[in-house]
Structure 1
Amino acid sequence: MISFRYHVVTLVSVFLALAVGIALGGGPLQGEVDDSLVGQIEADRARKATLSDRISALRSDLRYTDAFAEALSPEVVDGSLEGNAVAVVTLPGANDALVPDLTTLVEQAGGSVAATYRLSPALLDPEQRQLVDELGRQLVAGAEDVQVTGDPAAYERMGQIIGRAIGVQGAPEPLDAGAEALQSGLATAELLASAGSTDTRADLVLVVAPPGIAEGTAAAEDDAASFERSGAGEILASLLSGVDEQVDGVVLTGPTSAAVDDGALRSLLADVGAARRVSTVDPVNLTTGKVALVLALAEQAAGGVGHYSAAGGSDGALPAASDATGDLAGDDTSDDTGDGQG
């Protein structure tokens, strides 16, 4: 058994330790501890102020750069989309507020926005694959003058159907009976919705993606929200490859996070086949990115493809002038590497 004497000794030891601690804290060490804490706090405040100043300077630089690009953009894109019509398609979660600015820049380039559409989440949901497959077969069989090339899998077939419904190869055309039937079927199935008039089939398609999901965030732990782990990225690559079969060009754009984090642009770039057909551009939220995507549309219309990114796209910041104006055959200033970049 523990004796009374043991309890007394233990309590005395505890009180002695407390007394020594108080004596030291209030005595010879107090000044050193206080000075150390004050010095650390002052250093942290200075570091925070420095970082705040740097952030403010970077924001000012960004505002100036964007204003400068906005002032020059009409001259840079002038005539690059002359005679072209663009169908804008927004993916689930994309910023619809970007569409008016994109429309303005397309018009400054001499083109027009034929219509705006919204892709539903169901179309990118792997669990809806059977619906997509069956509906695709029914639409091809039932619509007038609608054909798909080759023997595509479910999502590439659906991409060709969407391409036929909203677009055309060659000069833009009025909506025909086949396109009307396809748009009606897609709307009834709640896979594709139009926003406003859809009187014209466009020769170019611009797809606007949502931001990517950064690693370490709560959303990154959700497989269903992940473009890559959910399978939505693979589906999108197949869909856009199919759309490209039916039109003169497709460009996928979004904020830079969609290219560097778990997002639509990164998923498409991971698909070698799709990346050889569909161009990508970021950041769409800045004027510089908007100018690049207009030139990328012109490059697609001329038969080219490229990937342009603020995060270091494989083809630089924007298409070469010759690519964007249709001079893809090469001349004395073109390179002879065979990669289509002059």
Structure 2
Amino acid sequence: MINFRYHVVSLTAVFLALAIGLVVGTAALNGPVADSLKETVNGLRKDNQQMRQTVNSMQKELDQEEEFAAGMAQLMLPGKLAGRRVLVLSLPSGRDHTEGVVKMLQLAGANVTGRVDVQDKFINPDGTNNSNLLELAVTASHPNSVSTNLPGNGHGVETSSALLASVLLDRPQGTATVTDGDRRTVLQAYTNAGYLTLQDKVSGPAEAVVLVSGQPYVDKDSAKKDDSVLKIAEQFARNGAIVVGGMGSSGGNVVAAVRGDAVLSQSVSTVDDANTVQGQLVTALALVQLLTEKKTGQYGVGDNASGGLLPKLPQ
């Protein structure tokens, strides 16, 4: 039978072994292992400091480039869009840089007829929402009959975009004139339903539109939403000159979609860095080129920016 003294001796041996292990381990760590760890930590600390300096340097360089672009805008833009009537259509993904685009257009002398913010609800692919948009397009256009050639393919976003383009942009020759009352009626119908928000009063029809967008959607309905955004651009392109000022040119965003369409890219200009001051300047210059030379281009920093950083305008 194991007595109490045996247990005491056993426990004493265990604790003694632990104590010896701690002493030996500490001694080992205080030697080569500790030196190696210290060297690694010091190396990581230096790398982190260098990376922080690199980031700060890049941020400073970016700030200087933005400052330079803002200065160049003061030299290049004034008077370039004098007397031109321009509508600004802002998508949810481009809301953060819409104001910068508006300021560049105003600097160029454009008469911004209005800024219309498209809400997420407008491009929601839900079946009920599609039916609501189709119904709204019919009811909002009557009894004024402001549009008699709406698409009949059952796509709510496309049909409503066609109606909105017909009242916000110049009408083709030979078609009925849209009165200010007709325009207000249609816009009020869409704003009351939560599809649009007007940042200011729409003063009249525009001859051109700047569609401000952002990066592609990434949720489960991203493909349908990106397709709806493209349909908005297509319908407004049918009624007037259009420049898409976006952010990035990959994935399924509208800039990438336009550039990937051989037909649409011949009638729509794109800028893929409109989230920067430089891109906002280029957006205004692209519109100048489109209105004065009837020439489109794909500009920015993306691999598919076939026109380079900015358009070459005649002196």
Residue 168, structure 1, aligned to residue 170, structure 2: yes
d(CA) in 2 for partners of 1:12, 1:242: 87
* Contact map agreement 2:91 2:117 (CA 8 A) in 1: yes
Letter in 2 for 1:124: I
Counterpart among 212, 221, 234 of residue 241 in structure 1:
234
d(CA) in 1 for partners of 2:119, 2:228: 13
Residue 317, structure 1, aligned to residue 309, structure 2: yes
* 1:136 corresponds to: 137
* 1:200 corresponds to: 204
Letter in 1 for 2:207: D
* 1:265 corresponds to: 255
Identical positions, percent: 20
* 2:91 corresponds to: 91
* Contact map agreement 1:237 1:271 (CA 8 A) in 2: no
* 2:35 corresponds to: 35
Could you say what secondary structure the match of 1:197 adopts? coil
Deviation digits for residues 277-332 of structure 1, max 9, x if unmatched?
3322132232211111001112332433222222334221112214xx9xxxxxxx
C-alpha RMSD of the superposition: 3.4
d(CA) in 2 for partners of 1:20, 1:269: 72
Cα distance change, pair 61–318 in 1 and its aligned pair in 2 (3 A):
same
Moved more, 121-130 or 183-192: 183-192
Could you say what secondary structure the match of 2:279 adopts? helix
Deviation digits for residues 183-233 of structure 1, max 9, x if unmatched?
2332233222322221221111112224556xxxxxx5x425xxx34x111
Cα distance change, pair 267–16 in 1 and its aligned pair in 2 (3 A):
farther
Give how far 1:115 is off.
0.6
Q: TM-score, normalised by structure 2?
A: 0.81
d(CA) in 1 for partners of 2:16, 2:260: 68
- Choose 1 or 2 for highest CA Rg: 2
d(CA) in 2 for partners of 1:288, 1:314: 15
Deviation digits for residues 4-45 of structure 1, max 9, x if unmatched?
xxx9xx999987985675354233453111111111111111
Deviation digits for residues 92-140 of structure 1, max 9, x if unmatched?
25335642x4333213323221111111211100111121222223444
* 1:181 corresponds to: 185
* 1:116 corresponds to: 115
d(CA) in 2 for partners of 1:29, 1:185: 76
Counterpart among 278, 283, 287 of residue 293 in structure 1:
283
Structure 1 runs not aligned, ≥5 long: 1-6, 214-219, 326-342
Give how far 1:54 is off.
1.0
The number of equivalent residue pairs is 302
d(CA) in 2 for partners of 1:28, 1:274: 71
Could you say what secondary structure the match of 2:309 adopts? coil
Q: TM-score, normalised by structure 1?
A: 0.75
